[in-house]
Amino acid sequence: MDKGFYELLEANPVIAAVKDEAGLAAACKSAEIQVVFLLFGDILNVARLVRSVKDAGKAAVVHIDLVSGLGAKEVVVDFLKAHTAADGVISTRPGLVKRAGELSLWTVLRIFLLDSMALENLERQALAAHPDVIEILPGLMPKVISKVVQRVHVPVIAGGLISEKEDVIEALDAGAVAVSTTNPAVWEM
């Protein structure tokens, strides 16, 4: 794992996940937020969105799967590296995460843990992608977070449905290095 990314997450365990311009503006203004997950945009504005985050002195991580106009081929990672100042990428696709790592971008493999099969496949996906961190959703599962941390020796971010201070504390106590949330109230806790 990229040491700088890990240290940034450890020092700033609440990540602003933004899904619109209003969320982006709020995250950029927040003194508490140092890492921003961009969960929106399109091929025409992604460079501008990343630049907004960078101009605010924060790290920008782009969720490739949620940017309109970007496909599922590895060349989209090359595009982001060449045409934006993104620090990293998020994807549910191990191949894209692996390519981002090859390009020295921070990597987040997003996994939806919906059932025991998803939990069993997690190790295989992590081995294929070699991510810096794994983001598991939903993040309101302290027992599952603990199991993931024990099974996969990759730092874990808990995301999805994090809405209260108690959710943050439980996720961190279960072994997550950070939480991501779209809830601005949680960013300031």
Q: How many CB atoms sit inside 10 A of residue 120's CB?
A: 10
Domain count, the chain: 1
Q: What is the mean pLDDT of residues 3-30?
A: 96
What pLDDT was estimated at residue 1? 57
What pLDDT was estimated at residue 189? 81
> Encoding tokens for residue 126?
């992590």
- In the predicted model, is pLDDT for residue 116 greater than 70? yes
Residue 61: give its domain's CATH number.
3.20.20.70
Q: pLDDT, tens digit, for every residue of 125-157?
A: 999 999 999 999 999 999 999 999 999 989 999
What pLDDT was estimated at residue 2? 66
> Encoding tokens for residue 122?
């997690």
The verdict on whether omega for the bond into residue 13 sits within 30 degrees of 0, i.e. cis, is no
Q: Which of 156, 99, 158 is nearest to 133 (CA)?
A: 156
Q: What is the mean pLDDT of residues 17-38?
A: 98
pTM: 0.96
Q: How many CB atoms sit inside 10 A of residue 3's CB?
A: 8
Rounded distance, CA 110 to CA 107, Å? 10
At position 74, the amino acid (one-letter code) is E
Q: Which of 97, 119, 100 is nearest to 110 (CA)?
A: 97
Q: Which domain holds residue 168?
A: 3-187
Q: pLDDT, tens digit, for every residue of 44-101?
A: 999 999 999 999 999 999 999 999 999 899 999 999 999 999 999 999 999 999 999 9
